[in-house]
Amino acid sequence: MKRLISLVIGVGLLGAACVGHTASIKLSGGGPNGSPVASATPTVPNSPAATKDPTPAPSASEDMAAITMTQPDAGERVASPVHISGTANVFEATVTARILDAQGVQIASALTQATCGTGCRGDYSVWIAYSVPSDQPGTVEVYEASAKDGSPVHVVKVAVTLTASGSTTSCGCDDSSPAILASTPDPGQRVGNPVTVSGTADVFEAQFVVRLLDEDGTVIAELPVHASCGTGCVGDFSVSVGYTVDHEQPGTIWLFDYSERDGSIIDLVKIPVTLTP
């Protein structure tokens, strides 16, 4: 009888092991002559808890602000012209940089374009000359002009110390300086008719073009412009552009040069404005 019980227990354990389960052995008195009978009850193991797929972490570029500024550093003592650089992912890659004096008054501005935009991140770099009579606190701002109303969006501000400087005409910039810099009108400004466009330029023979487009992108005015100096020197320019629109609407001022090699548009600067009748 003992051998029979041992055999039953062994068979039960072996069967449970074959299916990867554990077995519990129970003796009962249900056999002949009251002999205990062994029965093996397989125990199903607990299933491992289901694990959820980890949520992918956002990429560094997705976390990055639309505009970043790497130069100048916060608290830096800067001189005219100021080198402003960073990265941007904005509409048409166009960003505006400006300098504010101690009273928060804008004393200089320029548009520049990143190397990529509208869904991709690019680098931008611009030099801006300014004039203040004495050393003072100031602010460098970089932003995108809203396509809806021209208001600043994605604004980045860096507090600096502006050192005293003279004329804004002499740039003294390196080769990364834009060939054409616009000082007026400001991006998003509501302009009258005619609109005065001014700034500095260093282009071939000091000649380039100003073009005005309406809300549909139609050219409504175009004029040649002559700066006071060019072909290796920075000159001033100012031109009044007349136009005709039948209602107030967004528009764009283009400043550009034509390539001597193939006639394509180069050194393009775009200024979003609001046109008035």
pTM of the predicted model, to two decimals? Answer: 0.50
What confidence tens digit (pLDDT) does each residue in 196-250 have?
A: 999 999 999 899 999 999 999 999 999 999 999 888 888 899 999 999 999 999 9
- 148: amino acid identity, one letter: K
Given CATH 2.60.40.2550, say whether it is the number of domain 60-162: yes
DSSP string covering 189-226: -EE-SSEEEEEEE--GGGEEEEEEE-TTS-EEEEEEEE
Residues contacting residue 231 through CB under 8 Å, at least 6 positions apart:
202, 203, 204, 205, 206
Given CATH 2.60.40.2550, say whether it is the number of domain 180-275: yes
Least confident of 45-49, 106-110, 162-166: 45-49
Could you give the 3-state DSSP secondary structure of residue 239?
strand
Could you give the 3-state DSSP secondary structure of residue 63?
helix
| Residue 1, pLDDT score | 52
- CA-CA distance, 60 to 62, in Å (whole number)? 5
Class of residue 130 by CB neighbours under 10 A (exposed 0-12, middle 13-18, buried 19+): buried
- CA-CA distance, 61 to 8, in Å (whole number)? 67
Q: What percent of the chain has pLDDT over 90?
A: 44
Question: Quick check: 239 and 225 in contact, CB under 8 A?
Answer: yes
Instruction: Provide the token pair at 188.
Output: 């998003």
**Range among 8-22, 50-64, 82-96 with highest mean pLDDT value:** 82-96
With 80 as the cut, is the pLDDT of residue 51 above it?
no
**Range among 40-49, 126-135, 193-202 with highest mean pLDDT value:** 193-202
**Could you tell me the residue ranges of all domains in the chain?**
2-43, 60-162, 180-275
Domains 60-162 and 180-275 share a fold: yes
Among 160, 203, 172, 195, CA closest to 271: 195
What is the chain's mean pLDDT, rounded? 80
Residue 8 or residue 159, greater confidence: 159
